[in-house]
C-alpha cells in the first residue's frame, strides 16, 4: 500500500489536515490489515475509534479540530469555547474540543486519547494524542451554524451557548455581556437569537441584561457596575451614556445621577486610544468643574474586586448632595 497518496487522496488529506476515517480508507480500497499494520508499527496514530492521523508526530490544533469533527460525523459544529476560539474572542487552549451535534447522533464525549507506551515510547510532553471531545446536542442545527471552515456555530449562538453553560445566572449574564462585546454581537441580533432559541436556563436574567444594554450599558465594566454596585445595594439607577456638550461637541458621561448631578465614569473602554481618552476626559472634567458637578471615577479592579467599597463612596456623595438614602448593604458587605 502507498503511504504517501496522490491525487484525490492527497486533496482529501489536505482538506482534513492529515486526518482520515477508516470508512474513507475502505471506500478507496485500503483494507483493514493495511490500516492495522500502519498503526501497530507506529506510522499512523489512532486518534479515536475509526479516526486516524497519517502521521506519528504531535497533532496541531487544526488536526485536533478535524479529528473531533470527523469523529462526531456529518453535521457536527464546533461550538462553545472552541467556537469562541475560532471566532478570535478567546485564546486557543489545549483543552478538549467542544462540538454540537443533532439529537439522534450517536457521538458521545470522549476523554483525552493517549499513546500506548508499550507500542511507541515518547516524551511525556508528546504522550497525549488528542485532548478529548465534549459533545453537546441541539434540536436547532439548521439555524445555528455558519458556513466556515471548519464549521462552527454562529457568533450569536456561540455567545448564547457560553452564557447558558455557566453555573449561575450571575456568571451567565457577565459572560453574555463580555462575549457580546468581544464578538461584536449587538443587542438587536442577540435579542432576535434569544427569541428564536429561548434558552432553558437563565432566560429571565438574560432578557433583563439585554434590556439594560438597550438602555445604554455598553461594556462588561458598566454591566458589573449596574449588577454589583447599583442593584446589589439599592442605589438609584443612573442615566447611561448621558450626553454632554463640550466645545460644540457631544460627548457622553458613562453614568449620571440626575437627582443630584453626580457623574460616575468607568475607565474601561479599550476601544479608545490613550490619546483620545485623555483628551475626552480632560474636556469632560473641565465641563463638569465649570458646572460644579461632583464626579467619581472607577476602573475594572475597583468595580470587580471591591464593589461594596465603590457603593459606599457613591452613596456618600449622593447623600451629601441631598439624596434621601434608601440603599442597603449586600451579602458581601459583611463578609
Question: In this predicted model, which residue has the larger pLDDT, 25 or 273?
Answer: 25
Rounded to 10 degrees, the C-alpha dihedral 289/267/312/215 comes to 90
- Per-residue pLDDT tens for 223-242? 899 999 999 999 998 888 77
- Alpha helix (H) residue ranges in the chain: 8-15, 22-27, 32-40, 61-72, 80-87, 141-144, 155-164, 169-183, 187-196, 203-214, 220-224, 232-233, 274-290, 300-305, 307-320
Q: For residue 163, what pLDDT is reported?
A: 95
State the residue for C-alpha cell 470587580.
Answer: 304
Question: In this predicted model, which residue has the larger pLDDT, 10 or 49?
Answer: 49
pLDDT grade, residue 245 (50/70/90)?
low
Long-range contacts of 206-209 (CB under 8 A, 24+ apart): 206/163, 206/172, 206/173, 206/176, 208/173, 209/173, 209/176, 209/177
pLDDT grade, residue 119 (50/70/90)?
low
- Per-residue pLDDT tens for 49-104? 999 999 888 899 999 999 999 999 989 999 999 999 999 999 998 899 999 999 98
Question: In this predicted model, which residue has the larger pLDDT, 271 or 3?
Answer: 3
Rounded to 10 degrees, the C-alpha dihedral 222/227/228/233 comes to 120
What single DSSP character describes residue 229?
A: I
Question: In this predicted model, which residue has the larger pLDDT, 26 or 123?
Answer: 26
Q: For residue 273, what pLDDT is reported?
A: 42
- Per-residue pLDDT tens for 291-331? 667 888 888 888 888 999 999 999 999 999 899 999 999 98
Q: Write down the mean pLDDT value for the chain.
A: 85
Q: For residue 332, what pLDDT is reported?
A: 86
Smallest CA-to-CA distance from 43 within 18, 67, 12, 62 is with 18
CA angle 326, 331, 334 (to 5 degrees): 95
CB 208 within 8 A of CB 306: no
Strand partners, 53: 19, 45
The size of the chain, in residues, is 335
Mean pLDDT of 191-213: 92
Q: For residue 48, what pLDDT is reported?
A: 95
User: Omega of the bond prior to 150 within 30 degrees of 0, cis?
Assistant: yes
pLDDT grade, residue 219 (50/70/90)?
confident
pLDDT grade, residue 282 (50/70/90)?
low
Mean pLDDT of 122-151: 88
Selection from 15-29, 40-54, 153-167, 248-262 with the highest mean pLDDT: 153-167
Q: Which three cell numbers stand for residue 258?
A: 440626575
* Residue partners of 155: CB distance under 8 A and separation at least 6: 87, 146, 183, 184, 185
Selection from 142-146, 257-261, 275-279 with the highest mean pLDDT: 142-146
Q: For residue 112, what pLDDT is reported?
A: 95
The Cβ of residue 326 has, within 10 Å, a number of other Cβ atoms equal to: 8
- Per-residue pLDDT tens for 155-181? 999 999 999 999 999 899 999 998 998
Query: Per-residue pLDDT for 271 more than 90?
Result: no
Amino acid at each position: 500500500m502507498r503511504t504517501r497518496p496522490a491525487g484525490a487522496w492527497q486533496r482529501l488529506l489536505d482538506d482534513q489536515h492529515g486526518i482520515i476515517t477508516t470508512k474513507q480508507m475502505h471506500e478507496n480500497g485500503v483494507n483493514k490489515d493495511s490500516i492495522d499494520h500502519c498503526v501497530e508499527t507506529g506510522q499512523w496514530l489512532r486518534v479515536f475509534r475509526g479516526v486516524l492521523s497519517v502521521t506519528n508526530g504531535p497533532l496541531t490544533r487544526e488536526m485536533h479540530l478535524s479529528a473531533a469533527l470527523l469523529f462526531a460525523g456529518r453535521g457536527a459544529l464546533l461550538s462553545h469555547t472552541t467556537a469562541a476560539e475560532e471566532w478570535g474572542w478567546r485564546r486557543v487552549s489545549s483543552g478538549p474540543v467542544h462540538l454540537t451535534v443533532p439529537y439522534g447522533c450517536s457521538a458521545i464525549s470522549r476523554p483525552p486519547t493517549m499513546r500506548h507506551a508499550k507500542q511507541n515510547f515518547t516524551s511525556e510532553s508528546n504522550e497525549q494524542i488528542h485532548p478529548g471531545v465534549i459533545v453537546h446536542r441541539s434540536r436547532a442545527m439548521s439555524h445555528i451554524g455558519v458556513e466556515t471552515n471548519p464549521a462552527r456555530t454562529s457568533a450569536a449562538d456561540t455567545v448564547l451557548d457560553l452564557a447558558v453553560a455557566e453555573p449561575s445566572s450571575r456568571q451567565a449574564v457577565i459572560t453574555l455581556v463580555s462575549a457580546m462585546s468581544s464578538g461584536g454581537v449587538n443587542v438587536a441580533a442577540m435579542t432576535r437569537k434569544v427569541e428564536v432559541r429561548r434558552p432553558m436556563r437563565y432566560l429571565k436574567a438574560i432578557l433583563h441584561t439585554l434590556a439594560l444594554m438597550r438602555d445604554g450599558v455598553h461594556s462588561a465594566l458598566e454591566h458589573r457596575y449596574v449588577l454589583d454596585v447599583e442593584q446589589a445595594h439599592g442605589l438609584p439607577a443612573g442615566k447611561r451614556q448621558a450626553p454632554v456638550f463640550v466645545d460644540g461637541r457631544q460627548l457622553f458621561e458613562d453614568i449620571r445621577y440626575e437627582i443630584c448631578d453626580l457623574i460616575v465614569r468607568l475607565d474601561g473602554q479599550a476601544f479608545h486610544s490613550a490619546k483620545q481618552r485623555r483628551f475626552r476626559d480632560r474636556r469632560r472634567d473641565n465641563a463638569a468643574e465649570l458646572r460644579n458637578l461632583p464626579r467619581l471615577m472607577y476602573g475594572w479592579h475597583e468595580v470587580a474586586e471591591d464593589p461594596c467599597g465603590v457603593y459606599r463612596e457613591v452613596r456618600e456623595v449622593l447623600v451629601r448632595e441631598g439624596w434621601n438614602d434608601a440603599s442597603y448593604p449586600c451579602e458581601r458587605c459583611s463578609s
